[in-house]
Structure formats: C-alpha cells, structure tokens
Amino acid sequence: MTDKESVVLVVSGSIAAYKAAELARALMELGLDVRVAMTRAAERFITPLTFEALTGGRVLRAGFPEPGEPPMEHITFTRGARLVLAAPATADLIARMAGGLADDNVTSMLLATDLPVIVAPAMNVMMYRHPATQSNIALLASRGVMFVGPEAGELACGDEGEGRLARIPQIITAVREKLSLGDDLAGRKLLITAGGTREPIDAARYIGNRSSGKMGVALAHAAARRGARVTLVAGVMDVEPPANVETVRVESAAAMLDEVERRFPGVDALVMAAAVADYRAEQVSGHKVKKTKRWDLPLVENTDILGRMAERRQSQILAGFAAETHDVEAAGREKLLRKNLDMIVINDVSRADIGFGADENEVTILTRQGAPERVTKAPKERVADAILDRLVVLINNRKRRGEAAG
C-alpha cells in the first residue's frame, strides 16, 4: 500500500497497446500509483508482465478468477483510486462500456465503479466513423465520460484518417485536468541541466565528477508534473531522465554550453543543477598516453555557462547551484552576485548523506531579495518542489514587472 493517489489504466487490444507502457510511466512520473487492467485482446499485443515490472503491482486480467485467486477483484481493484483511464480503447471496449456489459473481469470492474472515466480511443478510421461507434461515444459522453482524441493521420493498417491514439502529453493533460493537479508552471518553458560533464584527456581517460543526475532529474520531473515544458540537458547520469521531458544528452562542458546556448532564447528560466567541470585538458591526445612516473597535465578554464547566459539574458530567470564544502552560505551568496543570478541553491557536498549521488538533499535557497530559505533534509523530489516554489514566484514577478513597464 502507498499513500499516493492511484489511477486505473485499462489497456485494450489495439496495435497502440505498446504505447500504454510509456503512458503508465508518464502517469507514474506525475506521482501517481498506476494499477493496470488488461482485456484479453490486449494480451495479444503486450504482456501483463511488462506492466507488472513497470508499476510493481499485479495486473487485473480479463479472465474470471481461478480458485485461490481473489474472487471480488473486479469490485476491489478500483477502491481508493481517483480515476479510470482507458487507453488505448478499442471500438469493442467502447461498445461494451456503452452497453453496460460485464462479460469479463475488466468490463465487470468498469461497471462496478463510479469513478470519473477518461477514454482515449484507438482504431481504424472506418470503425471510428461507424454510426455504432459514434453513438456509443455520444452515449458515454452523455454519462460524463471524457474523451481524448483520437488523432487523425496515417493508421497502422495503412488507412488515413481519425483513429490514432492521442499523444501521451495530451492524455496526461486530460488526467491532470480531471485530477486538478497543481499546474503553476503551465505554459512555462524551463531549461534544466543535470549530471556531470566528462572532459577528455586522451583516447581512454577523462576528468569527471560524482554527480549522479538525481537532483536535476528530480527538478525536471517536478517541473513537468507542475505543467512546464521542460528540456533537460543531461550530462553523464546514473539515473534515467523522465519520459515526459525532452532530453538532450551531452558529455563535455563545451557540448553542454552549445545545447544550453541554443535553447536559452525561448525559455522562461534556466536551472543549472549540473556539475560542470571548471577545467579541461589544454590538449587532448587521440591516442592513449603511455604511463610515466609523472604526468604534468596543463588544464585550461571552461566557459562558465551561467555567466555566459547572464550576459545574453533578456527576461529569463537564472538559477544556479553552489556545491560548497565550508562556509557554505557566504560562498553561495558570493556566487549569486558574481554570476549575476536570480537564485542560487546551496548544498554542502562534503556530506555523504546529501548532495552528490545521495537520494536526499538539504539546501539553502538564496535570492537577491528576501531571507535565505533553509530546506531541511528531504528526498530530492521534495527539495525540487521547494526550489520550484521559489522559481514560480520569480518568473511571475518578472512577467508582472515586464507588463507594467510595457
């Protein structure tokens, strides 16, 4: 059992069933617990095991329970959940829902719940346009079922027309709307960096650091959940980027600078959680340098990405992190001013339980105005939300200033 909010995802037998795996992941990234139910036909396209591995929960299958299995699961499966989402929903599933059939475990479950229902149809265009399907959709809509899509385009069968499963961000928007999830970053574009950079020395070696990417990924995840369009410029990371976020992979500080610089003009804020190498090798050998007793390796300074963006800013908010080991607050304040930032998040990287690689962080948030905010030790996801709470205020105030001036 978890204290998270739950949604029930009903997957039916369309060629688009494979997209339901990505959808389940995107729902989980909203912080939701996902319970999956599958029709018999769905199992011809994707296995229950896929969803069990993704969600960590048992899949409700269409066949009636065997002796020894929970007999009332069609009643209990939706208990405590907030929403049922049928995606992809075939013409057959829609017809069975409209007709109130309870001819297997899944349709029985759908009949035994009064939760809000969202349906994302996916089928051939002729099946979609058929009067039977259209009247089933109208009937369900009149009962309060919300429909998302389908989209028009080329279909798996080769036909053109309506019938493609709505895109995942569109389905997620409908879920957010139904569940009234916070969206204080809706319409905002955020550029976030995460992970460490690698600066090559020769064909085998590089200069790196201990960043796992967890802090930056937590920020990207939380910002997307709060409605932002996020681009994540990811250096070397130990964790996967969120599925509903555009991710650009880089290795060196120079490549990170290029990608950030290119995207910077269109964003509302840049948040640099990446640990960017301050130095790179002056010369990079194409071969592996032979081992000697001593190696003097001249290093040259990398461009400061935040510093460069501060010179180019129009109305973007700039937020940096400060990885410090002593006198952390004074050092962070000095960086805030020197790099001409709007916000700096200071963490003490001498501690093993927070900062580099850890699942938790403890930070002090400094802005140009206002008192320092101390965020006590918490999972990086919670720290990310506290950082975004401050960022939202900075973005909103900037807009109001601009509007007043304009």
Q: Which residues form the interface with ligand PMT (CB under 6 A)? A: 211-215, 253, 272-276, 278, 302, 304-306, 320-323, 335, 347, 349, 355-357
Chain length of the chain: 406
Shortest distance, position 237 Cβ to ligand PMT, whole Å: 7
Shortest distance, position 233 Cβ to ligand PMT, whole Å: 11
Residue among 273, 316, 282 at smallest CA distance from 300: 282
Residue 250 annotated as catalytic: no
Q: How many whole angstroms separate alpha carbon 335 and alpha carbon 40?
A: 59
Shortest distance, position 61 Cβ to ligand PMT, whole Å: 39
Q: Which helix (H) or strand (E) holds 388?
A: helix 380-405
Q: How many whole angstroms separate alpha carbon 229 and alpha carbon 169?
A: 10
Shortest distance, position 3 Cβ to ligand PMT, whole Å: 25
Shortest distance, position 172 Cβ to ligand PMT, whole Å: 25
Contact indicator for 269, 318 with CB cutoff of 8 Å: yes
Contact indicator for 380, 359 with CB cutoff of 8 Å: yes
Q: How many whole angstroms separate alpha carbon 322 and alpha carbon 365?
A: 10
Asked, as a colleague might, if the bond just before 150 is cis with ω within 30 of 0, I would say yes
Q: How many whole angstroms separate alpha carbon 41 and alpha carbon 54?
A: 20
Q: C-alpha dihedral over 112, 113, 118, 122, to 10 degrees?
A: -10
Cα angle 27, 32, 38; round to 5: 60
Shortest distance, position 329 Cβ to ligand PMT, whole Å: 13
Please, which residues bridge with residue 36 across strands?
A: 9
Record the tokens describing residue 38, joined without a space.
């599958």
Q: Compare residues 104 and 258 and give the one whose CB is closer to ligand PMT.
A: 258
Record the tokens describing residue 78, joined without a space.
């939706």
Out of 157, 186, 289, 337, which one is annotated catalytic?
A: 157
Neighbours of 389 (CB within 10 A): 15
Residues marked as catalytic: 157
